[in-house]
Homo-oligomer: A and B are copies of this chain.
Amino acid sequence: MPAAKCGGTTGTPPVRTTRALMKGKPMEVAVMERVRTSDLAAHVDERVLLRGWLHKQRRLARVSFLVVRDASGIAQVVVIDPAQREEVASFLPETVLEVEGTVVANEKSPGGIEVHSPSVRPISCPTEPPPIQLQRPVLLEQLPTILDSAPIALRHPRQRAMFQIAAGSLFGFRSALEGMGFIEIQTPKIVASATESGANVFRINYFGRPAFLAQSPQFYKQIMVGVFERVFEVGPVFRAEPHDTTRHIAEYVSLDAELGFIEDHRTVMAALRDAVVGMLGGIRKRAAAAVEVLDLSLPEVPSEIPVVHFSDAQLMIEDATGEKVAGEPDLTPAHERWLGDWAAADHGSQFLFVVGYPMVKRPFYTCPDPDRPGFSNSFDLLFRGVELVTGGQRLHRYEDYLAALAARGESSDPYESYLQASRHGMPPHGGFAIGLERWVAQLTGASNIREATLFPRDLNRLTP
């Protein structure tokens, strides 16, 4: 007997009446509900219906194992019948299958469960073998190859786990902020002027006029503090980054929050701390399986995250390394790593707030420290020695904005509608922005932010 073409059913035909049921025809036999692979343990000794992809196939002398992958995990299907073994041997990896079989407990099989006496029906058949070796425990292809074939590579349990972590983080972020009285907003990504500077913006042809892609929802979230007091937004931001680094991409997801009636930047830091706790809680709640797949150890967030002033941080680094850094207006990535190590060693914390960055390195809307006007009421949150979040208190008085813009030699004209808010009564306020992909990359130890981005965009990459 020749090997079955993809399209037939091998073994006992599965019970299939769902179609008849859906069409409102009388039900003739019991409908078998599909069971997810992660739920198999609850069905030992039962006949179940699985659906998924042929992740890999292993042929031994007397038995073939089909590993079937679905969204929840994998299951091992055991084929013994020689004719059926021959039939399934023709199935390419990634064939979409429907498998009916009996769930059997077996200590030796992955997860302690396997599926016996199967009937196997291919639902959808690949036209060629996959471009990525998905059957490996960890993908061995180079990152550019993986990214070129992202539609297939993302099917690997370790690849997709990154994005389950991302989804869990978003769930936790929103839950935490909504619990603190924040309202979700959606602001435009096509804008008339650059948010923070003329540099690194993408230009659009907007019905024949020039326009730009928003580098952040900064101005809009501030305006919305005048409406809702506390707002957050999850959305794409766009930076025409001319550098090809492992830390930068041209489009990423920004988790933005802004809140009014604050005391100063420390009110914002407290809200951020609770947001991060929420994100980790969201991962634990919604992405526990992904945490296991990636073998992650999630960090503890101290009830008080340690805080160091920018100028003190510089002195500490200078003392410890002998490098001359005091007076520099910013910290380098190496300095941030040093501070991360210090926070871990001296405070047992993977998180560290650096506050009081020099005004000269912060955008014009930043509120200066009233006691040290060269420094600002702003902060970065370092996570494992990498800047994860930037935030701070903003100016809220119209006259302060005019003075800040004048001091930088900038006209206030492009900021007309932004400044309308402060012209008509804004409370002291501030906020922060978390880069989702950077968060996931840091959390999972990814060496390149592109590993934590579904379909990255950069200087050289515009597809898939």
Contacts and interface: CB of A to CB of B under 8 A. Distances in A.
Interface string A439-464: 00000000000000011110100111
Contacts of A462: 190-192, 206, 209, 211
Given A226-B151, A229-B70, A127 B423 contact: yes
A71 interface: yes
A202 to B, nearest CB: 5
A189 B462 CA distance: 11
Interface in A114-150: 123-128, 130-131, 149-150
A238 interface: yes
A291 interface: no
Contact of A226 (B155, B264, B397): B155
A206 B202 contact: yes
Interface string A16-55: 0011001000000000001000000000000000010110
A229 B71 contact: yes
A343 interface: no
Nearest to A163: B185
A129 to B, nearest CB: 8
B71 A230 contact: yes
Interface in A406-438: 416-418, 420-421, 423-428, 436
Interface string A238-269: 10101000000011010000000101101100
A382 interface: no
B423 A207 contact: no
Given A124-B427, A396-B124, A263 B19 contact: yes
Contacts of A427: 51, 96, 123-124
A164 interface: yes
A166 interface: yes
Given A206-B202, A397-B124, A425-B125, A454 B220 contact: yes
Given A71-B228, A171-B184, A188-B251, 16 more contacts: A51-B261, A53-B425, A71-B227, A96-B425, A96-B427, A124-B397, A126-B425, A127-B424, A128-B423, A151-B226, A151-B418, A163-B183, A170-B184, A187-B454, A204-B213, A220-B454
18 contacts: A70-B229, A94-B424, A123-B427, A124-B396, A154-B223, A154-B224, A167-B184, A186-B436, A186-B454, A188-B236, A190-B238, A190-B250, A202-B204, A204-B205, A209-B462, A234-B234, A236-B236, A416-B463
The 8 lowest CB-CB distance pairs between A and B, nearest first, are A417-B464, A94-B425, A71-B229, A151-B223, A167-B184, A94-B424, A22-B263, A151-B421
